């Protein structure tokens, strides 16, 4: 299985990092793209110093990352930029309103927005996990537009009915749903109606 995962500069970088770890743990091949703003937000939220020019995936994950390939967001020659490359899905987690707006407007000016544009035109699975509150009419219009174009809008909106005990448990209530939509088996969450 092969996916594209992009991290952008919304709050909640922990969602993208835990998703990347979950995919790596399951030997899913990931083409990883991180925006310049996401690097800054990761530094602020996670206390992790990373550089786009010498990106250290193992430092981001805190573990080995053999199945992860990093691409610079300015590299439009990377495989996800082309519809001829095969992937099972793409997720942008967290997805800033800036990236969301550019994708909704068809502005494909870096590898993240170009890849999302390609996934939409090829009618492939594209999951956007926005994080913002409150939402303006512009945000809501963009979300509606993207949903109509075939994207799955899966907000970073944790749930509480599984009684999460830690921040990581809470984050995994979202990460588990993204894995479900990518078609990746997991047991991050108890399933409603099944004995835990
Ligand atoms: C600490 C911090 C937190 C931010 N949180 C959000 C957020 O939750 N949602 C959002 O849409 N933008 C947020 N932003 C603003 C984005 O980083 C900004 O719009 C940026 O241009 C997004 O760039 P990108 O989409 O290329 O990553 C935040 C910025 C900073 C510095």
Is residue 77's pLDDT more than 70?
yes
- Output the CA–CA distances (angstroms, integers) from residue 188 to 16, 45, 69, 120, 176, in the order listed: 15, 23, 24, 28, 6
- pLDDT tens sequence across 103-152: 999 999 999 999 999 999 999 999 999 999 999 999 999 999 999 999 99
Question: Ligand 1, atom 7: nearest CA belongs to which residue?
Answer: 10
Centroid of ligand 1 to alpha carbon of 192 (angstroms): 33
Distance from C-alpha of 12 to C-alpha of 14, rounded to nearest angstrom: 5
Residue with CA nearest ligand 1 atom 28 = 10
Pocket of ligand 1 (CB under 6 A): 8-11, 35, 37-38, 40-41, 44, 96-99, 131-132
Question: With contact defined as beta carbons under 8 Å apart, do 6 and 34 qualify?
Answer: yes
> How far is Cα 26 from Cα 142, in angstroms, rounded to an integer?
33
> Domain 2-182 - what CATH class?
alpha beta
Supply the pLDDT for residue 184: 97
Give the distance (Å) from ligand 1 centre to CA of residue 142. 16
Q: Is 196's pLDDT higher than 60?
A: no
Q: Which ligand 1 atom is at minimum distance from the Cα of 38?
A: 27
pLDDT at 195: 61
- pTM of the full structure: 0.97
């Amino acid at each position: 299985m092969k996916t594209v995962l992009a991290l952008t500069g919304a709050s909640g970088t922990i969602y993208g990092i835990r998703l990347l770890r979950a995919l790596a743990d399951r030997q899913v091949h990931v083409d990883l793209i991180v925006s310049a703003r996401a690097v800054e937000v990761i530094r602020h939220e996670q206390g992790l110093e990373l550089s786009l020019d010498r990106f250290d995936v193992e430092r981001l994950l805190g573990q080995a990352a053999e199945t992860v390939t990093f691409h610079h967001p300015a590299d439009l020659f990377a495989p996800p930029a082309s519809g001829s490359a095969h992937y099972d899905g793409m997720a942008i987690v967290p997805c800033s309103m800036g990236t969301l707006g550019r994708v909704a407007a068809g502005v494909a000016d870096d590898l993240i927005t170009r890849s999302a544009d390609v996934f939409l035109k090829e009618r492939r699975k594209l999951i956007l996990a926005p994080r913002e509150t409150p939402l303006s009419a512009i945000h809501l219009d963009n979300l509606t537009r993207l949903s109509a174009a075939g994207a799955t809008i899966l907000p970073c909106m944790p749930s509480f009915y599984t009684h999460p005990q830690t921040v990581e448990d809470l984050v995994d209530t979202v990460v588990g749903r993204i894995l479900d939509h990518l078609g990746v088996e997991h047991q991050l969450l108890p399933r409603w109606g099944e004995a835990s």
